[in-house]
Chain A
Amino acid sequence: MSEKVKLEVLNPRGVVEAKQANAPAPRLTDLAGKRVGLYHNGKPGLDNFFTVFEELLKNKYPTVKTNLIRGSFEITDKDAEAWAPQIDTFVYGVGD
């Protein structure tokens, strides 16, 4: 009976450090009178998406205020820190 062949191989995958699991921020109870941020990362068609969304939002919540910014593919630290105090909640659209 022939001897069996055993092949042991090393793992090629990079070690990825796991982050601490965090919860999302608590939700708002209602959007009435709130400031809703709309983040547009410049991808084609998002402007049209947000135009319709804003219209539907204002129909449902007439006192809502929207704040649309068009920024980079990922919002920069500087823009995030400047924008956060101006909004109560946000919709982040990436077009992908």
Chain B
Amino acid sequence: MAGTVKLEKLGKPGVFINCTTFDDDAKSASADNGIPTLRRVKISSQEFYKLRGKVETVRPLVESVFDDIINALTKPLTPEEANPSQDMVEQEDQVEVSVTAESYPAAAEEFNRIFLENRWGDGLPLVPPTPERVKWMLSGTKRSPDEALGKINPKQGAATIEKIAINAVMAGAKPEYLPVIIAVIEALTDENFDDLHILASAGSFNLLTVVSGPIAEEIGMESGIGFMGHGWRPNNTIGRAIRLSTLNIGQTWPGKNDMALTGRISPHTFFTFCENADFSPWEPYHASRGFKADESCVTVGSVHGESQLNHFYGGMIGTWTAEGVLDRMVEDLVRTDRRGYFMWGTKGVGKYLGSGGGAMNHMIILFPELVVELEKMGFDQKGLQDEIYKRTAIPYDDLTPAERKSIQTAIELGVIPADRKAVFAEALKPGGKVPVLISPENLHFFVAGGAPGCAFSFNYYRIPPYNRTALMTKRITGATLTKAGSA
């Protein structure tokens, strides 16, 4: 929609074609972009998605809307279209809710009914964000309630510390968790982070949050058996506060402007956990991103939706060895990432080269016992990155002509960055071995889980569709109730 508005503002009359499923989204987006009377033509979702595969099957559908499209381009604007009122772009009021009832349970029930009816909740009971409760939540940070971190997509709602605290109360979080939640929202609202894709896309993409450093233990996060499951107030309510903050500050709703077809699995908490610092022989993940090992950080990453987990085994699931787990990772990476070669030779789907497809990032979760074994084999994080990168490279002679061409085009277009061109140019010759990843640094290792544990991974595009990155680490700051994160 933003593109259509851009062209209209350049003086070009146009029409936006959208499917019926996206009609509310398109209508709202036209107002949000400042042309509420922008002309749109709807086509049936049911018919278009089924029939679009061939010219002949889609023909009757195009014929059915052809006159509407021509009219949209040529019929003069009505007075209402030519003079849209400011009311048409007004956003919702900042109303405050007050409930009076015979008892607290009755008042709480009524509060929950109103919030969910307003689409301000996530479907589970909420804790009422009374001024007292929000003040209590804000006691966890030194930061001013009025401080604005940035804006959350798709509606570009302003994320202030106070709004985050209100949503954290509703999620059932405690004040000592607030600095972690704030750091996550700092990442999501960073000018380089693509929050739009994971909050609105039909692809049901999801959000991974990993807390690393001493604050995790200080606030009681669980990193042992069941670390991604239920029962852990810090893990679960930090995740829920992120969910509610994005829902309310960015103003999303399923089927309206959050078009995730299956919903975003783990819908109330996203995927939220911490590294197991006690059992890991390695430095925390954030040290590999330029932060000091003794700092506390959050790492936020977009991940794929329905098929997010690739399992590499371990623990009591079956007999395992570190070499065996490594072999499974290599096999999985080659299988999944080779499928993306065909996209390397395109510019991508967004404004940055290689966006929305092709080369991937992998977020790999290793269990502590495995990491001990990998250490014995001589691997630190960097060594493991290099080993997997080397092992997943595909012999040039095994590549199809189309794959060779795509990689050559990626070199020429600049999809493969300048500092990696020489590696690929050298590999793309008879006898060479062509990597399936742009760089060893596209492998990200987190140590989490108990004993026994298991290894698995998430993946996502190296460059997302709507911004520069979808993987970011932020330092936790401003904490008042913990030693960690207090700077």
Contacts and interface: CB of A to CB of B under 8 A. Distances in A.
B141 to A, nearest CB: 16
B409 to A, nearest CB: 16
Interface string B318-354: 0000000000000000000000000000011111000
Contacts of A73: 349-350, 356, 465-466
Interface stretch (B98-106, B223-231, B370-378, B469-477): B98-106
Nearest to B157: A14
Contacts of B95: 11
Interface in B94-121: 94-104, 106-108, 110-111, 120
A4 B52 contact: no
Contacts of A29: 74
Contact of A48 (B52, B108, B163, B251): B52
Contact of A13 (B8, B248, B466): B248
Contact of A92 (B7, B10, B94): B7
A46 B98 contact: no
A90 B14 contact: yes
B39 interface: yes
B290 interface: no
Query: What is the interface of chain B mostly: helix, strand, loop, or mixed?
Result: mixed
B12 A25 contact: yes
B108 A7 contact: yes
A39 to B, nearest CB: 7
Given A11-B95, A31-B70, 11 more contacts: A7-B101, A10-B130, A10-B162, A12-B249, A13-B248, A16-B156, A19-B31, A20-B89, A72-B351, A91-B69, A95-B52
Contacts of B102: 2, 4-5
A17 B13 contact: no
Interface string B64-87: 001001100111110001111110
Interface in A44-96: 44-46, 48-49, 51-53, 56-57, 60, 72-77, 80-81, 83-84, 87-96
A28 to B, nearest CB: 6
Given A56-B63, A96-B19, A23 B35 contact: yes
Interface residues of A, number: 65
Interface of A: 2, 4-31, 36-37, 39, 41-42, 44-46, 48-49, 51-53, 56-57, 60, 72-77, 80-81, 83-84, 87-96
Contact of B13 (A15, A24, A75): A24
B350 A72 contact: yes
A89 B170 CA distance: 48
A21 B88 contact: yes
Given A12-B129, A45-B53, A80-B3, A56 B100 contact: no
Contacts of B74: 27-31
A23 B347 CA distance: 33
B293 interface: no
Given A7-B111, A11-B97, A52-B58, A16 B92 contact: yes
Contacts of B76: 26-27
B428 interface: no
B96 to A, nearest CB: 6
12 contacts: A9-B97, A14-B159, A16-B156, A23-B81, A24-B13, A28-B73, A31-B73, A45-B48, A49-B61, A49-B62, A73-B349, A84-B11
A66 to B, nearest CB: 13
B18 to A, nearest CB: 7
B37 A11 contact: no
Given A24-B77, A49-B58, A8 B131 contact: yes
Contact of A24 (B39, B54, B162): B39
B2 interface: yes
Contacts of A26: 13, 76-77
